[in-house]
Amino acid sequence: MSGRLFIVSGPSGAGKSSLCSALLTAFDTLKLTVSCTTRQPRPGEVDGREYNFLSVTEFELQCKSDEFIEWAAVHGNLYGTRKSDVERQLQQGFDVLLEIDWQGARQVAEKIAGAIRIFILPPSLRELQDRLAARGQDDEATMQRRVAAAEMEISHAGEAEYQVVNDDFNQALAKLQGIFSTHC
């Protein structure tokens, strides 16, 4: 028995991680595949839990070995998802959740037929900027780059089968749960 693949993408600060975390809690058949990144861990992040933290050299070697189902340069760092992680969970019958950027979502959708793409949108760019500031994880210049990048990322929302506006967390979560329930 093989599981289904769900891809959640959207700009930084739209609420992807919080929504995905709540979705994972609600469905025990859903598993998150942990992505790889070359960025430095943020306070409280653990290698292998939030991300597999790799050096640029390690990442590039895995890229050359064709170990990634998708990868992209985002905000000056490299991010990718290992094929073996996705395939193993799907073959075990789990539904798999990928929380990745729009570029990776496009790559995966081209490689895996039937992948279900969901794009999380902020209610507005101003709200997105306020959320990024409230997180307190980035300096002002980084936040401004993320907001500028968000405009471009949002232009790709239509590539996903579903768009969820995260204006109210509980309503956005209910919509995500409905999407998941429909496909499982």
Res 87: pLDDT: 92
pLDDT of residue 144 exceeding 70: yes
* Residue corresponding to tokens 């430095």: 40
Mean pLDDT of the chain: 91
The CATH number linked to 137 is: 3.40.50.300
Q: What angle do CA 156, 160, 162 make, to 5 degrees?
A: 125
CA 118 to chain centre: 10
More confident residue, 147 or 158: 158
pLDDT of residue 165 exceeding 60: yes
Per-residue pLDDT tens digits for 103-134: 899 999 999 889 999 999 999 888 878 877 78
What is the C-alpha separation between 132 and 24, in angstroms, rounded?
Answer: 23
More confident residue, 31 or 144: 31
Mean predicted confidence (pLDDT) in 76-100: 93
Q: At what angle do helices 140-154 and 125-135 cross, to 10 degrees?
A: 140
Res 88: pLDDT: 93
What is the C-alpha separation between 30 and 32, in angstroms, rounded?
Answer: 7
Query: In the chain, how many domains are there?
Result: 1
The share of the chain scoring above pLDDT 90, in percent, equals 70
- Range(s) of the domain holding residue 118: 5-183
At 74, the pLDDT band (50, 70, 90 cuts) reads confident
Contacts of 79 (CB under 8 A, 6+ apart): 35, 36, 37, 38, 39, 71, 72, 73, 100, 101, 104
At 58, the pLDDT band (50, 70, 90 cuts) reads very high
pLDDT of residue 1 exceeding 70: no
